[in-house]
Amino acid sequence: MNSQFELIRQSPTVSLNDRIISFKAAGKKVIALQVGDPDFSTPQSIIDAASQFLNDGGTHYAPSQGTLELRKAAAFKLERDNSISYDPGSEILITHGGIHAYYVAMQSIVNPGDDVLIPDPTWATHSNMVIMLRGNVISVPAPVENDFLPTFESWDKALTPRSKAIVINYPSNPTGAYPSPNYLQKLHDFASAHNLWIVSDEVYENLYYAEKPSCAAAFFGAKERTLVVNSLSKTYAMTGWRVGYLAAPARVIENAIKAGQNSITCVAPFIQKAAAFALTDPDVQKSAVEMRSGYARRRQRVLDIAAEAGENPVRVIPPMGAFYFFLDLRKLNLPSLQICEQILTEAGVGLVPGAAFGECGEGFVRMTTSASDSDVETGFKAILAWAEKQ
């Protein structure tokens, strides 16, 4: 069989999670710090909005571009939070989660043989989707020594005659890093000079611990070459609802609608009703801030534990955003997959190997703070204790 899927590995996050489930089924205790699924519940008012709409008969097909109500809500959110004006009629598409938004975005701009520049490390789906669409991934090193950002020399070196787009994800999964406004402006100047699209995955935009990260489309001249991918999963603890959106120039949305029609048809209308409520209700926005405060508390607890532990093979790099720590275990001189296997079997903690996110992730492991306070604290202490024995 000759298929592009032969070039793609299964998601290590999902496969590790499956393994941990089997561990638990066998009666083994595992602290699951490998999956980025908020332990917070979806706010009850969002659930009530969906339930009421279901009871009112909202069980039929919705428009393939998304309900006008939700597209207006997404445009309202972008104006409120990012100071960017989008036309809900022509510049927004409702999608089946952030992954689907990224899929239709790439379907709209990438042709077979096109080169797409993607920082390393980054979430594996960013690269895998390009491969699925028969494009070529050009990895751009984003090493810890440069705060997990590519230098502009690296961006320039990565250019090819077939370069079509740049994919960025800030705050980053797995590193939690995000660039300054000045960096993003320079990146847009670079993209403009070389006629490149920028696809910006901003799913973690509302999880930050210092200055709010900038939307990639919010710079002078940027909107017309930027495709913004977002979802409600992380901000509102709605991972299982599978609803997101793509904000992009009208000519991109026109093609993205076709990709959506031929992949999912539409997002369920009762989910769209709940999403519109989530994006616009003031009390829900307060709930989102409270969740971010919870992640900030866990982040600080990890930093405090690391400081209390003193010298240890685990180097802790404070994340700027998202709900992950990208722990540096390169002192152990072991492959990150082996590290995760041993920590799982010997310390009972589930993690994701850094190599799953690219070559620059080797020697690192990703640990989530989206688990409970107790699991984050106990699990991190177990990681430190295990590393100390090596």
Specify the residue for token string 């089997």. 22
> What was the pLDDT predicted at 35?
87
Instruction: Based on the fold, state whether residues 20 and 93 are members of the same structural domain.
Output: no
C-alpha 69/C-alpha 38 separation (Å) is 26
Instruction: Based on the fold, state whether residues 291 and 276 are members of the same structural domain.
Output: no
The 10s digit of each residue's pLDDT in 287-325 is: 999 999 999 999 999 999 999 999 999 999 999 999 999
Average pLDDT over residues 159-182: 98
Instruction: Based on the fold, state whether residues 68 and 167 are members of the same structural domain.
Output: yes
Output Rg (C-alpha) for the chain, integer angstroms: 21
For residue 368, which phi and psi values (nearest 5 degrees)? Answer: -90, 150
CATH number at 176 reads 3.40.640.10
> What was the pLDDT predicted at 256?
98
The yes-or-no verdict on residue 15 having pLDDT over 70 is no
Which of 225, 254, 281 is a domain's end point?
281
Which of 264, 281, 298 is a domain's end point?
281
Q: Single out the residue of 192, 231, 185, 210 nearest to residue 320, CA to CA.
A: 210
The 10s digit of each residue's pLDDT in 42-59 is: 999 999 999 999 999 999
Instruction: Based on the fold, state whether residues 155 and 243 are members of the same structural domain.
Output: yes
Torsion angle of C-alpha atoms 340, 343, 349, 352, degrees rounded to 10: -10
Domain that holds residue 106: 45-281
Task: Judge if the upstream peptide bond of residue 171 is cis by omega within 30 degrees of 0.
Answer: yes
Instruction: Based on the fold, state whether residues 86 and 24 are members of the same structural domain.
Output: no
Q: Number of structural domains, the chain?
A: 2
Top pLDDT among 253 and 3 is at 253
Which of 246, 263, 281 is a domain's end point?
281
pTM: 0.94
Instruction: Based on the fold, state whether residues 31 and 74 are members of the same structural domain.
Output: no
Instruction: Based on the fold, state whether residues 192 and 290 are members of the same structural domain.
Output: no
CATH number at 302 reads 3.90.1150.10
Q: Let me know: does 176 contact 321? Beta carbons within 8 Å.
A: yes
Instruction: Based on the fold, state whether residues 321 and 306 are members of the same structural domain.
Output: yes
Instruction: Based on the fold, state whether residues 71 and 11 are members of the same structural domain.
Output: no
The yes-or-no verdict on residue 12 having pLDDT over 70 is no
Instruction: Based on the fold, state whether residues 50 and 21 are members of the same structural domain.
Output: no
Instruction: Based on the fold, state whether residues 116 and 212 are members of the same structural domain.
Output: yes
C-alpha 350/C-alpha 328 separation (Å) is 16
Instruction: Based on the fold, state whether residues 21 and 90 are members of the same structural domain.
Output: no
